[in-house]
Copies of this chain bind each other. A is one copy, B any other.
């Protein structure tokens, strides 16, 4: 698959190369990791930050690409490379979606046919909120409440649905005044799905 995509070189270290005997070091990014997925998955971003720092230092690429579906992860990686002076440019890549809007994810394979039918409603609800807030930036509370109800009635168990600053992830609870994004994590049966969309033009 990678060769067909024009890839010339793959760096795929073995686990033992990543975690040698006595491995004891953690890279932790504060602030950005306290909310959203960080609040619901304790320690998750410590693991991400540590292994990404290692992979980047091991391979020293000029540019590294991270998908916007894991937007919080993208910000964490950008922060740690700046903070640790790793000489790499971190580029975000827009989320790739199925034709019905569902964000591509390895977890989609776990969805039953019925769950797969429900799943695209996540992106639809986020898109509706993003459009509404772009038109009416002061309607954050109303649109969040409405979106929450929509997600529940579509059949999702909602972990979070929040509008946050696109750069700092500071909560936006009343009015969107700068680049922001709407973030959600939901459960559908045993499968956890996340997605996010920009609320106002980000540049």
Contacts and interface: CB of A to CB of B under 8 A. Distances in A.
A20 interface: yes
Nearest to A13: B85
Contacts of A22: 79
Interface of A: 20, 22-32, 49, 53-54, 57-58, 79-80, 82-86
Contacts of A57: 57, 84-86
Contacts of A26: 27-28, 30
Given A57-B57, A57-B85, A57-B86, A80 B25 contact: yes
A157 B132 CA distance: 67
Contacts of A83: 20, 23-25, 54
A31 B27 contact: no
B84 A24 contact: no
A54 to B, nearest CB: 6
Contacts of A80: 25
Contacts of A53: 84
